Every structure is written in structure tokens, then in C-alpha cells.
């Protein structure tokens, strides 16, 4: 397929172009990118100098996009992008559309209305499933009936679906995990795919699995991405502090805070030790034997630690990019923290490619379709094994170094290993 024959793509909230790269791999041609962050724009220009670049999604119009790009008055095949997710993430403040970043979803809807793409792809974090239009804490002074509607969990996504349907688009929302499709990384996302031909999109079922009964190829691992033979094109690191390195030195490969003696756990974690939940990312060393956890923007935090499996350091820029499956030659602009921010905020290119294949199928169906049904098929949300468990850190009062599969039967080993040295003893006595 030549560049000219590829279907047209306009990208919003483009970032470092993780989603766009995947869509290009699926046969789309990037014409326009819209990105607010200055360093991310530099990254786009360094890698795709031919793309028409806009800065502010709140100011750009569909007509400007058409006039300044080669799209002209032709029909746009695909509009894609993920509105900033910080206000929707379960780890953020969850202020929804009260947060100015949350309001950018409406600019996405506006540009769908103005550009009238045949298909659109809107990506976001899983938290979008439960976020209300406005949190209860922000509702002072609003009428009671309005409060009830705006504060319901998931009301924002339901409202967005109604907005798209009012524009003539039916939408399929898929809650997925990148590791199920061959990415060496566990990363949950929601991908909404809309079309104006009243067709039902079908996202593929998982192609890889760690469950024996699924009879699928095994998940790709961190070792597949950055293991033996990996030559790091960007070895720069945001490393841990000396204090953090002291504790991480006590953790075996694939382990976390559970591998430390209780007194060291309390000393190193402070008040966090008393919190509920697994806190599996605290003092975490990665394992080559399992998929990487979700790549974060700051891998050197104690509570979201991404320590290299065999070297006492955080993962590098090049390693993070490889886990996200950016092309090896891809250039990231800015200082080391800026590069990590761009990589950590990106959509895995693998998910972009799968979403692009779904969009291509819809577009092919549209070419052969007669008049669509007048009554719009209701939009829907489908969960496709989004929550994936891969390894065990703690079970029945015993710490594991992360090298035990969640689906591995280790019950028979408990008695025989009770008299073995602890993981902590093994590390400090090496």
C-alpha cells in the first residue's frame, strides 16, 4: 500500500504519537496532529515533519484543519485521539469535567461534528467508565434533580455516547488490555470506536494469554522487550535516590516490599505501610519472566517503582520506549523527565494498531454498504479481559519474588520451602 493510497487520519491530543504510530501500522496516513505540549510538538516535528501541526484543540476548527492540510473538502476517514486522562484516572483527583483538562472531551465531540469523519477512535483510561459529569463535592448550589443526574458513576461516558449518537454516530466501547494483543506490558484502556454508518464494531478477542485453559500463545514479557541482546538507543535514566537504592538493593529480582523484613518495610514505607491494598508497586523490581507493569511517567518513585530486574537503577528512556513498542529510531525531545512523561502518557502502539484494524474493517464495510438502517443501533460497552493477573508477590503469609505465576499451583511447595532461607537473607548474604 503506497502512502497516497492509505486512508486519511487526523489526530487530536497526539502527544508523542503512540496511538498514531499504531494507526499508521494499520494502514492510515497521518495528515494533521493537534498537541498542546511544546516538547511533544517538537517530538512530532522531529519524526513526522510532513504533518500539519496545530497547538490548541480548543481554538482549532474543522475548517482550519481542512484548509491547512491536504484533506481539503474530501471525506475524512478517521479522527483519533485520547483527551487528557488525568482528571479521569482512578489515581488522579477525579474532578471530571470540572477540571479544565476534563472539558477537552467536548472539543473532541465538537471536532467530530465539524469534520464528520467516517470513523473515530477515542482512547482513555479505564476510570472514564465510572467518573461522573461532576463530583458531588463540586455540586453546591445545583438543583436536586440535576444533582442526581450529574453525580451518577459513569454519567460522563453515558453523556458522551448520547452526544455522539445525536451526531449520527453509534459507538462501541471496548475495555481492553494491551498485553492480550502481544504488547510486553500490562496496560488497561478503554477504546471507543464510533462510525456514522450504523455498523457494529468488533474488537478482537485476546490473542495471547497466561491462562492454560485459553490455549493461546503466552504473553510477551519484559525479557522479550529489553532482555538479552537489547541495545539501548537512549540509556538516560531518572534514577532513584540513594535512600531508595538502599532498600531496592535488598529486594530480589521480581520482588517488592513484601520481600523485606517487616521492620524494614515499616522503616522504608512510613505511613504507606498501614494502608489497605496490595501496594504491589512499592519497592518493586521488575522481572524478565513476566510482562512489564504499566509504564509510568516517573519510574523512580518508591510507590510506582520500575527498577531494572538485574541492575540497581530505574529503567531507561530507551527501555521504556521499547516496552511501549515505539520504533527504535523514534526521537523524543526535551530533558529526561520530559521524555519519560511523553512515553508514559502514550498509548501502546500495539493497541493503536489493533484499533486501526477495527477501523479499517468498518471502513471496508461502509464502502460495500447500502443505505444504513434509519434507527440507530444503541451504543455499547464490552469488557474483553481487561484485568489481567500475571504473578504473585504474597500468598498465605509468604512472600514470593515475583517469579511465581498467578496460575501456577505452588501449594505443594509450601511445606518443603518453609525451612529454606528467606528472600531477604538470600539477597543480603550474596
Q: Are 77 and 9 in contact (CB under 8 A)?
A: yes
Residue 247, C-alpha cell as written in the block: 532498600
Measure CA of the first residue to CA of the last residue in the chain; give whole Å.
Answer: 56
The answer to whether residues 26 and 360 touch, using CB atoms and an 8 Å cutoff, is yes
Query: Residue 367, exposed/middle/buried by CB under 10 A (0-12, 13-18, 19+)?
Result: exposed
Among residues 154, 93, 155, 168, the alpha carbon closest in space to that of 126 is found at: 154
Cβ(43)–Cβ(321) below 8 Å: no
> Do residues 191 and 174 touch, judged by C-beta distance below 8 A?
yes
Instruction: For residue 4, give every residue at least 6 positions away whose Cβ sits within 8 Å of its Cβ, in sequence order, or none.
Output: 29
173 part of the active site: no
In the DSSP assignment, the letter for residue 148 is: H
d(CA 309, CA 306): 9
Compute and round to an integer the Cα radius of gyration of the chain: 23
- Set 85, 173, 192, 307: catalytic member: 85
> Number of H helices and number of E strands within the chain?
14, 10
By annotation, the residues acting in catalysis are: 85
Amino acid at each position: 500500500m503506497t502512502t497516497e493510497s492509505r486512508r486519511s487520519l487526523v489526530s487530536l491530543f497526539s502527544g508523542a504519537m503512540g496511538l498514531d504510530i499504531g494507526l499508521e501500522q494499520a494502514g492510515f496516513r497521518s495528515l494533521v496532529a493537534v498537541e498542546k505540549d511544546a516538547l511533544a510538538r517538537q517530538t512530532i516535528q522531529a519524526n513526522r515533519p510532513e504533518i500539519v501541526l496545530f497547538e490548541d484543540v480548543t481554538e482549532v476548527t474543522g475548517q482550519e484543519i481542512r484548509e491547512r492540510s491536504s484533506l481539503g473538502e474530501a471525506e475524512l476517514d478517521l479522527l483519533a485521539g485520547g483527551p487528557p486522562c488525568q482528571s479521569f484516572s482512578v489515581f488522579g483527583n477525579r474532578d471530571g469535567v470540572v477540571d479544565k483538562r476534563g472539558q477537552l472531551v467536548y472539543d473532541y465531540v465538537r471536532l467530530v461534528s465539524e469534520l464528520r469523519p467516517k470513523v473515530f477512535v477515542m482512547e482513555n483510561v479505564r476510570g472514564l467508565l465510572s467518573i461522573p459529569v461532576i463530583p458531588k463535592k463540586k455540586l453546591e448550589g445545583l438543583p436536586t434533580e440535576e444533582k442526581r443526574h450529574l453525580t451518577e458513576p459513569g454519567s460522563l461516558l453515558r453523556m458522551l455516547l448520547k452526544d455522539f449518537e445525536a451526531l449520527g454516530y453509534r459507538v462501541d466501547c471496548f475495555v481492553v488490555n494491551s498485553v492480550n494483543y502481544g504488547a510486553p506490558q500490562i496496560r488497561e484502556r478503554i477504546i471507543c470506536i464510533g462510525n456514522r454508518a450504523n455498523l457494529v464494531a468488533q474488537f478482537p478477542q485476546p490473542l495471547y494469554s497466561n491462562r492454560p485453559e485459553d490455549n493461546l500463545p503466552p504473553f510477551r514479557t519484559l525479557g522479550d522487550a529489553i532482555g538479552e541482546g537489547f541495545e539501548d538507543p537512549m540509556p538516560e535514566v531518572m534514577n532513584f535516590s540513594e535512600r531508595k537504592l538502599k532498600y531496592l538493593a535488598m529486594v530480589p529480582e521480581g520482588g517488592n516490599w513484601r520481600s523485606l523484613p517487616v521492620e524494614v518495610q515499616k522503616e522504608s514505607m512510613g505511613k504507606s505501610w498501614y494502608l489497605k491494598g496490595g501496594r504491589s508497586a512499592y519497592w518493586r523490581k521488575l522481572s524478565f519472566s513476566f510482562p512489564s507493569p504499566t509504564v509510568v511517567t516517573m519510574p523512580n518513585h518508591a510507590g510506582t517503582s520500575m527498577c531494572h530486574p538485574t541492575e540497581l537503577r530505574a529503567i531507561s528512556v530507551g527501555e521504556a520506549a521499547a516496552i511501549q513498542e515505539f520504533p527504535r529510531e523514534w526521537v523524543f525531545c526535551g530533558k529526561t523527565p520530559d521524555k519519560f512523561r511523553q512515553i508514559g502518557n502514550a498509548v501502546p502502539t500495539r493497541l493503536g494498531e489493533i484499533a486501526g484494524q477495527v477501523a479499517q474493517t468498518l471502513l471496508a464495510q461502509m464502502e460495500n454498504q447500502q443505505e444504513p438502517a434509519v434507527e440507530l443501533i444503541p451504543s455499547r460497552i464490552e469488557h474483553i479481559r481487561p484485568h489481567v493477573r500475571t504473578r504473585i508477590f504474597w500468598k498465605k503469609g509468604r512472600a514470593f519474588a515475583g517469579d511465581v505465576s498467578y496460575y501456577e499451583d505452588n501449594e505443594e511447595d509450601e511445606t518443603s520451602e518453609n525451612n529454606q532461607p528467606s528472600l531477604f537473607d538470600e539477597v543480603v548474604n550474596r
